[in-house]
Amino acid sequence: MRKKKEENGGRRKKKEEEEEEEEEEEKKRRKITLEWFGVVDGRLELHEKGVPILIFSAGLADIIEEVFRQKLHRSFKNIKIVSNRMAFDDNGRLVSFKGDPSTLL
């Protein structure tokens, strides 16, 4: 019985360690993504230097804009995003994509 408890405790500990490692990896991925956009210490350095920014993405402009809003707590007028946009109905459900999906690869 004691051996069984030790095995279960070991499994729980291993699972907790794996979850912590996954969290750390996710934090690293987010940091790399923000650095790629020129975000350092909560500031968009390119914007502060007056550099116009064009983001061309096969992803979703709505998500890119939300990342800027959440991480930088503001939106920027000198950033142009050329990407797919989502269209929602009155209930907030995704119903289609706006315009020509020319950024799809």
Could you tell me the residue ranges of all domains in the chain?
Answer: 1-36, 38-105
Per DSSP (E only), the strands in the chain are 39-40, 43-44, 53-60, 79-88, 94-98
Q: Which residue has the tokens 């993405």?
A: 57
What pLDDT shows up at residue 78? 76
Q: What is the pLDDT of residue 41?
A: 59
Residues 6, 3: Cα–Cα separation, whole Å: 5
For residues 44 and 50, the answer to whether their CB atoms sit within 8 Å is no
| Tens-level pLDDT at each residue, the chain (105 residues) | 555 556 666 778 888 898 899 888 877 776 666 666 666 555 667 767 777 878 888 788 888 888 878 877 666 777 888 888 889 999 999 898 887 766 554
> Is 44 within 8 Å of 76 (Cβ atoms)?
yes
> For position 90, what pLDDT does the model report?
94
Q: What is the pLDDT of residue 8?
A: 66
